[in-house]
Structure 1
Amino acid sequence: MSKYALREAALQLLTRIGENGGYSHVLLDREINKQQLSEQDGRLLTEMVYGTLSHRDLIHYYLTPYMKKQKKIRPWVKWLLYMSVYQMVFLERVPDHAVLHEAVEIAKKQGHKGIASLINGVLRNIQRNGVADVEEIKDPVEKLAIESSHPHWLVERWVEQYGLEITQGMCKANMHHLPMSVRIQPLRISLTEAIHQLQADGFTVEKSLLSPQGIVISEGQILRHPLFIEGRLTVQDQSSMLVGEMMDLSPGQKVLDACSAPGGKTTHMAEKMEDEGEVAAYDLHAKKAKLVNEKARQLELTIIHAKQADSRKITDEHHLESFDRILLDAPCSGLGVLRGKPDIKYHKKEEDIFSLRNIQDDLLNEVSKLLKPGGKLVYSTCTVDRHENEEAVAAFLCRHPEYEVDPSFTNDLPEPLQTSHGRSEFGLQLFPQDFDTDGFFLTRLIRT
């Protein structure tokens, strides 16, 4: 695909995501597959889309001095400017003259001479005069919010919860795309064998620090590799793999996965159980439950049975105290996965955190009734907000004195995490800057 066509495709994706709330990771993957892009073109398209989204508010700050006389512009024009400024400021290998020329050509094709003239004038001014310095912003929260393109309310909230230093680390990490990681299907291939095969095929890989099944890929297009197509590998973030590792599973157990889609953690648990026992998996939506079953088939796992149900009423489906292990990977604000889904930070509102917490409380109350005495329940989220994490666990333990945090939880963590500053009496908070992963929370509770 030509660079012009790539920029056109990036603009269409950005406008759709930015204006209509489309999911960046879904639409981007679909476009790469639809156009059958080469690895190099796929990388550039991903860079333009994710980079522009991740830096949106900073780019807006850069553009503002040059746009003061302009009336409201059409959405696609705004995103064309955002995308072009991103390339000019942040992508050193892309020459400014190429960005300018193709932006003007796109403006001519999609608009008219007046729009092309506007685009040309603004971008040439930036080329000549440079962009504003964020150091001129005196308020540290406002400065961090703009330079890292995070909503002010969110930065303020994180600073209150974790302090400025950790918040700066989170915000900066969120501006860089997450490296790809995969999990082996250990009943079908060993870690050593998978790594050797990927390296022989030109991939740059290393072992995960968080899971003995995990491989981190820094170079290589895994979705087209036979190991992925044949179901010997599956894509999963390292922090997500940690859940399966911490479930303390054995073959033959009966396990409940209350919120299972898309199935990464569900299938990991079945692998840890050596495909012996039972994994009852549920999702609120029938289509998503179907995806879990499809993933299980792809990985040749037979003990997973996924179906649609609202897990806030899951005791209608099973006898009380009937499971050895329960996973509640709860619906959450998703504020830990901004590296892979940067659009989330622009769509979330503070009140979303509190409404989701009500759902988390209801789910915890309900699924906890199904665990056997002596059984273990892992609660996890892909967010970094204390209200959904430590505070949710603390409130649950107050309501349910028959539960406690498993005393062996910390000792069972992978060694790099045993001294993590994210540990508390209620669980482990992973920050995205710590191990180059998603932000993630998990804890393991035991029913006494």
Structure 2
Amino acid sequence: MGKYLLRNTIIDLLLRIEQDSGYSHLLINHEIKSNKISPKDEGLLTEIVYGTIQRKITLDYFIDYYLNSKKKIEPWVRMLLRMSIYQMNYLDKVPDHAIFHEAVEIAKQRGHKGVASLVNGMLRTIQRNGLPDIQKIQDPVQRLSVETSHPEWLVKRWIDHYGYETTKEMCEANLTTKAMSVRIQPLKISRKDAMERLNNEGYEVSASIFSEQGIIINNGNILKSSLFEDGLVTIQDQSSMLVGELLDANAGDVVLDACSAPGGKATHIAEKMGNKGVIRAHDLHKKKIKLINEKANALDLSIIEAEAADARNLGEHYQNETFDRILVDAPCSGLGVMRGKPDIKYNKQERDIERLSEIQKDILTTVAPLLKIEGKLLYSTCTVDPIENEAVVKAFLAEHEDYQIDKQFFEELPNELKNSIGVSEYGLQLFPQSFETDGFFLTRLIRR
């Protein structure tokens, strides 16, 4: 790739992610698959894009400290400064002189001499004087916000819910990379055999405590493994695997997965059922149904019947007391998966959380009559906000006397999770810092 082309591509990507609220992981994958990026540059592109988004608030604090407050700079110039300071401060791969040279050349190409001299001046001042000390910020909420690059409203909200220490640990965890995990297809291979094969191929792996099908990939690119190519494993976060484990579905059951795409949990449930029974999987978006079918086909699972439908209207599709098990993996703010999708923290507002909690309640209310008596309903989200989690469950139980928390749920938790900080009478809240997983909430209700 041309000398400045990679950096220009990175700026364009960052601008698209910020201005169009595009999903970083999708745009990066699209850019890599378009074959414009050489395999040699893939890692650097991913690292600079993710890192610059991840640290945006911190980087802006550094820029604004040295920028004359009367100076207005164009979005692309700020982006160029962000990614340059990110490389200087957080990456060892590129020497400072190369960062300066490339930044100045790009500034000349995209702007004019004045912009180039502003960029050059700021980067050299930072190299000479160092970055401002964040610890000197007096207000603890603002300090934590700048230090860990989380919006102030979110930091304050989490402190109100969980206290300063837990919030700090959560924000710091969101800046780190967690190991990828995969789930074996147990109808085709055992975990022991899969781990042996991976070890023989040079991977460093360990067994997950969350699921007997789970394997943590501590070192190596699993996408290049023979197991992945042969459809023997599927990528899934460990916290997400817990859903399939705790739904407690059996062979021959009739199961509803109300918000199913992209199908990771539905396929896991099908595996747990030994591919015997039926799973009706729905999602609001027609094009996402294709993803569910593709996943099922790749794993040779035939019991999933996927169809586009709004979970809030499923009462029109099915008769009451149709299902043995229901999974509501509800649409949520996604505040538990910011590690892998850092743009989420800048695209969400408090009002989104309130709006989503109403949708979550509506879905639960709609599907409640569809469960058989003595049937079980598992509610899960990939967020850490109690308004979308405990509060939703509480409100639902207050209006549905035939439902109660299934006490067996807590007995069936993996031993290591039984006494974790997130266990309450309403379910389990997993924090990203606790077990190196996504932040996740899950609970199980039973209909009497």
Q: Which moved more, 1:380-389 or 1:171-180?
A: 171-180
In 2: Cα distance, 1:4 partner to 1:142 partner: 36
> Is residue 337–residue 383 contact of structure 1 (8 Å, CA) maintained in 2?
yes
In the other structure, the counterpart of 1:382 is 382
- For the residue of structure 1 that corresponds to 2:333, the secondary structure is coil
In the other structure, the counterpart of 1:11 is 11
In 1: Cα distance, 2:59 partner to 2:182 partner: 33
In 2: Cα distance, 1:180 partner to 1:39 partner: 20
> Is residue 290–residue 307 contact of structure 1 (8 Å, CA) maintained in 2?
no
> Aligned pair count?
448
Please give the residue correspondences for 1:108-257 in structure 2 after superposition, counting only pairs within 5 Å: 108-257=108-257
In the other structure, the counterpart of 2:423 is 423
> TM-score normalized by structure 1?
0.96
> Is residue 333–residue 383 contact of structure 2 (8 Å, CA) maintained in 1?
yes
> Is residue 180–residue 218 contact of structure 2 (8 Å, CA) maintained in 1?
yes
For structure 2, the 5+ residue unaligned runs are: none
Please give the residue correspondences for 1:49-128 in structure 2 after superposition, counting only pairs within 5 Å: 49-68=49-68, 71-128=71-128
Q: CA separation of 1:2/1:184 partners in 2, compared to 1, >3 Å: closer, same or farther?
A: farther
In 2: Cα distance, 1:26 partner to 1:346 partner: 17
- For the residue of structure 1 that corresponds to 2:108, the secondary structure is helix
> Is residue 201–residue 225 contact of structure 2 (8 Å, CA) maintained in 1?
no
- For the residue of structure 2 that corresponds to 1:332, the secondary structure is coil
Alpha-carbon displacement from aligned partner over 1:134-178 (angstroms, at most 9, x marks no partner): 111111111111111111111111000000011001101111233
Q: CA separation of 1:439/1:302 partners in 2, compared to 1, >3 Å: closer, same or farther?
A: same
- Backbone CA RMSD of aligned residues: 1.6
Percent identical pairs in the alignment equals 57
Cα deviation for residue 37 of structure 1 reads 5.6
Q: CA separation of 1:117/1:429 partners in 2, compared to 1, >3 Å: closer, same or farther?
A: same
> Is residue 50–residue 177 contact of structure 1 (8 Å, CA) maintained in 2?
no
In 1: Cα distance, 2:31 partner to 2:242 partner: 30
> TM-score normalized by structure 2?
0.96
- For the residue of structure 1 that corresponds to 2:420, the secondary structure is coil
In 2: Cα distance, 1:71 partner to 1:242 partner: 51
- For the residue of structure 2 that corresponds to 1:35, the secondary structure is coil
Please give the residue correspondences for 1:251-290 in structure 2 after superposition, counting only pairs within 5 Å: 251-290=251-290
For structure 1, the 5+ residue unaligned runs are: none
Please give the residue correspondences for 1:340-359 in structure 2 after superposition, counting only pairs within 5 Å: 340-359=340-359
Alpha-carbon displacement from aligned partner over 1:260-302 (angstroms, at most 9, x marks no partner): 0011111110011110100000001111112111111111100
In 2: Cα distance, 1:196 partner to 1:70 partner: 62
In the other structure, the counterpart of 1:316 is 316
In 2: Cα distance, 1:200 partner to 1:31 partner: 32
- For the residue of structure 2 that corresponds to 1:379, the secondary structure is strand
> Is residue 51–residue 86 contact of structure 1 (8 Å, CA) maintained in 2?
yes
Cα deviation for residue 8 of structure 1 reads 2.8
In 2: Cα distance, 1:420 partner to 1:43 partner: 35
- For the residue of structure 1 that corresponds to 2:376, the secondary structure is strand
Cα deviation for residue 39 of structure 1 reads 6.3
In the other structure, the counterpart of 1:443 is 443
In 1: Cα distance, 2:126 partner to 2:72 partner: 20
Structure 1 letter corresponding to 2:44: L
In 2: Cα distance, 1:48 partner to 1:251 partner: 46
In the other structure, the counterpart of 1:41 is 41
In 2: Cα distance, 1:189 partner to 1:2 partner: 45
